[in-house]
Chains A and B, each alone.
Chain A
Amino acid sequence: KAGVTQTPRYLIKTRGQQVTLSCSPISGHRSVSWYQQTPGQGLQFLFEYFSETQRNKGNFPGRFSGRQFSNSRSEMNVSTLELGDSALYLCASSSTTNSGRSYEQYFGPGTRLTVT
Chain B
Amino acid sequence: AQKITQTQPGMFVQEKEAVTLDCTYDTSDQSYGLFWYKQPSSGEMIFLIYQGSYDEQNATEGRYSLNFQKARKSANLVISASQLGDSAMYFCAMSRHEGGKLIFGQGTELSVKP
Contact = CB atoms under 8 A, between A and B. Distances in A.
Interface of A: 31, 33, 35, 42-45, 48, 50, 55-56, 58, 88, 90, 92, 94, 96, 100-110, 112
The SS class assigned to the B binding surface is loop
A108 B37 CA distance: 13
A107 B44 contact: yes
Given A43-B91, A107-B37, 14 more contacts: A31-B99, A35-B104, A42-B106, A43-B93, A43-B102, A48-B101, A50-B100, A56-B101, A92-B102, A94-B99, A101-B97, A102-B98, A105-B35, A109-B42
Interface bracket on B: 20 to 34
Q: Which 7 A-B pairs have the closest CB atoms?
A: A102-B99, A107-B45, A43-B104, A56-B101, A48-B100, A109-B44, A45-B101
Contacts, number: 62
A5 B100 CA distance: 19
Contacts of B100: 31, 33, 48, 50, 55-56, 102
17 contacts: A31-B99, A31-B100, A42-B107, A43-B91, A45-B101, A48-B101, A50-B100, A55-B100, A56-B100, A90-B45, A104-B47, A104-B50, A105-B47, A105-B99, A109-B42, A109-B43, A109-B44
